[in-house]
A and B are shown apart, each in its own frame.
Chain A
Amino acid sequence: MALSNSQSVRDIIKEKKSKNSTNQIIEKLIPGILFILALISILTTVGIVLTLIFETITFFNRVSIVEFFTSKEWYPFFENNASYGIIALVSGTLLITVIAIIVAVPIGLAAAIFLSEYASDRTRRIVKPILEVLAGIPTIVYGFFALTFVTPLLQTLIPDLPLFNALSPGIVVGIMIIPMIASLSEDAMSSVPNSMREGALALGATKFEVTMKVILPAAMSGIVASFVLGISRAIGETMIVSLAGGATPKLTFDPTESIQTMTAYIVQVSSGDAGYGTTIYYSIYAVGITLFLFTLILNLIAQYISRRFREEY
């Protein structure tokens, strides 16, 4: 602050003091405001849990819990004897998830091993971002791809495959989670220190032996965590299954049949015209809470694994 002729030192001190007091107010207010913003994230979770629970309670006032867990049929649209057995939707979801994992785990892990152990730096720098492109493609695009490319392709191999089946969306969900498994596993393997690789190589092991006997065991926690996260992703995936999976909830483990997943059911109801207040309307919350619990437990398991079993070098 320059000392001009018209300002005495006293004035400057006064000005400084008044500035300081507004500053002090700001300093006190800001943490409070920011804290409230941070609370929004908790409120979101609370909101999710509460809305799911309250609406599910309304649902269970109309439909018995026993039926929900034991009935093998999910026919909410039958007016007279509607049946709400979540198993039918869960089995569809699990079928998709199993197919997806069968596709994604070997390919994703192999790609991760190649990138981390075999590829040159240059190759890795090119391939990794391309894999990330795969991860950034909207799921609706994957759904379209499943419906218009993968299903017809599979139909040439399996002639009596229906247009809507579990196999095609399962495979495509698998393709969708490959980049996630590959990149998380690659991170885990790259963080294994080089000295361990060099030690094994110096003993005369081949690269493959180093990978199998040193790198994979050392990086196992990160790799398993990536699988669990992949499963959680596959369970929560929506658009691929609602486009290509069909809308026939049934308890089946035949991948060539048309099925319905939990997510696809929610989409079907909310994009159709189940009116507010009907039992069908409340049923999406019961399905939603089941889905939420499944993915929450898996995410917690993944966090636990990567924290508990992490090897520190």
Chain B
Amino acid sequence: MKMIDRQLVTKKMSGRLALNQTFKGIFIAATVLTLIILAILLYRIFTQGSSHFSLEFFQNYASRRPEQSGIKAAVVGSLWVMAVTIPIALILSVGTAIYLEEYAKKSKLTSFIQTNISNLAGVPSIVFGLLGLTVFVRFFDLGRSILAGGLTMALLVLPVIVVASQEAIRAVPKQLREASYGMGATKWQTILRVVLPAAIPGIVTGSILAFSRAIGETAPLLVVGAFAFVNYLPQSVMDSFTVMPIQIYNWAGRPQVEFQAVAAAGIIVLFIFLIVMNSVAVFIRNKFQKRY
């Protein structure tokens, strides 16, 4: 008995192989297409923005005239907001992560906290803006201040950092803990001196990536009420402010074509921040990555 009809196989084979090749081509094309789009996007921004990108751009405030417009207030505003966001977000999320990984017993409440965090990660950022507007701006009466914006941002990045920190803490091997207990250390001593130091590279990497997301976020701060036109540098956390993405949004929305170059130059500055933050994250990951 013939198991395989060779003729039939040969007849069908060329068609099947051709199909394979065609689809391989399509899959490659799709991948290449996304890379090309990325290239076009970056190329466009840099060619559009380079004409306006100069030292003065960093020294000037926003202006009605495109040639005098600068990003100074926005850069400083972004730094202020981050100065509020980073410590608060870190304390909240690392604390939550330690609690969930080290202390929490498997109860309904902890699994509720866990689901809750993963759901929070999927809430659109503009909804966080509404929360910030109602709770921080109105209820706590912080006004349209850096503090209100920074707190809103801290809540926005919280779920991302919690998840990253949890993974980092979970990756610390049991033996390290057991050795520490064996030496007579208490639980908190073990966490503080053994677990956290081992988990810190992972926590820091995840946090930097989260904060570099936050620095590009526009919507929540627009809702909380960052101003688009700020002609001074904020002096305290209660001052009103603007940030880079909002400044870019404002420039991009203007009808005059000249402002497009200004917006593109603003985007270049934003990119510089992102590249620096991401490189630091990659550096930490490569430098401190330990395998046990």
Contact = CB atoms under 8 A, between A and B. Distances in A.
Interface in B156-187: 158-159, 162, 186-187
B64 interface: no
Contacts of B119: 45, 296, 299-300
B45 A141 contact: yes
A299 B129 contact: no
Contact of A110 (B26, B48, B127, B228): B26
B186 A27 contact: yes
A41 B26 contact: no
A117 B26 CA distance: 13
Contact of B126 (A117, A232, A266): A266
A243 B99 contact: no
A136 B212 contact: yes
A269 to B, nearest CB: 9
Interface residues of B, number: 86
Interface string A280-305: 00001100100110011011100100
Most chain A Cβ neighbours within 10 Å, of B27, B131, B253, B267:
B27
Contacts of A44: 120, 131, 155, 158
Interface stretch (B50-58, B110-118, B194-202, B232-240): B110-118
A263 interface: yes
Given A26-B188, A35-B99, A243-B249, A138 B218 contact: yes
Interface stretch (A1-9, A83-91, A143-151, A190-198): A143-151
B120 A41 contact: yes
Given A107-B33, A271-B228, A31 B27 contact: no
A39 B260 CA distance: 45
B100 A38 contact: yes
Contacts of A47: 131, 135
A292 B131 CA distance: 12
Contact of B249 (A34, A140, A284): A140
A33 B189 CA distance: 15
A40 B89 CA distance: 11
Interface stretch (A60-68, A72-80, A127-135, A213-221): A127-135
B253 A243 contact: yes
B96 A38 contact: yes
Contacts of B44: 145, 148-149
B175 to A, nearest CB: 22
A66 to B, nearest CB: 24
B252 A139 contact: no
Most chain B Cβ neighbours within 10 Å, of A51, A113, A115, A182:
A51
B126 A238 contact: yes
A219 to B, nearest CB: 15
Contact of A51 (B17, B131, B188): B131
B20 A208 contact: yes
Given A45-B116, A175-B37, A209-B16, A138 B217 contact: yes
Nearest to A299: B122
Interface string A21-58: 00100110011011101111110110110011001000
A54 B188 CA distance: 41
Given A37-B92, A41-B96, A207-B24, A243 B252 contact: yes
A236 interface: yes
Most chain A Cβ neighbours within 10 Å, of B26, B187, B222, B270:
B222
Contacts of B186: 23, 26-27
Contacts of A238: 124-126, 218-219
A71 interface: no
Interface string B114-155: 001111101111111111011100100000000000000001
A140 B245 contact: yes
Contacts of B264: 144
Contacts of B9: 204
Interface in B59-105: 91-92, 95-96, 98-100, 103-104
B135 A140 contact: no
B27 A111 contact: yes
Contacts of B98: 34
Interface in B17-41: 17, 19-20, 23-24, 26-31, 33-35, 37-38, 40-41
A26 B188 CA distance: 8
A235 B124 contact: yes
Interface in B245-275: 245, 248-249, 252-253, 260, 263-264, 267, 270-271, 274
A312 to B, nearest CB: 21
A105 B99 CA distance: 38
B131 A291 contact: no
Given A55-B134, A299-B122, 5 more contacts: A34-B98, A37-B96, A110-B29, A114-B30, A148-B44
Interface of A: 23, 26-27, 30-31, 33-35, 37-42, 44-45, 47-48, 51-52, 55, 106-107, 110-111, 113-115, 117-119, 127, 130-131, 133-134, 136-145, 147-149, 175, 178-179, 182, 204, 206-209, 229, 232, 235-239, 243, 263, 266-267, 270-271, 276, 284-285, 288, 291-292, 295-296, 298-300, 303
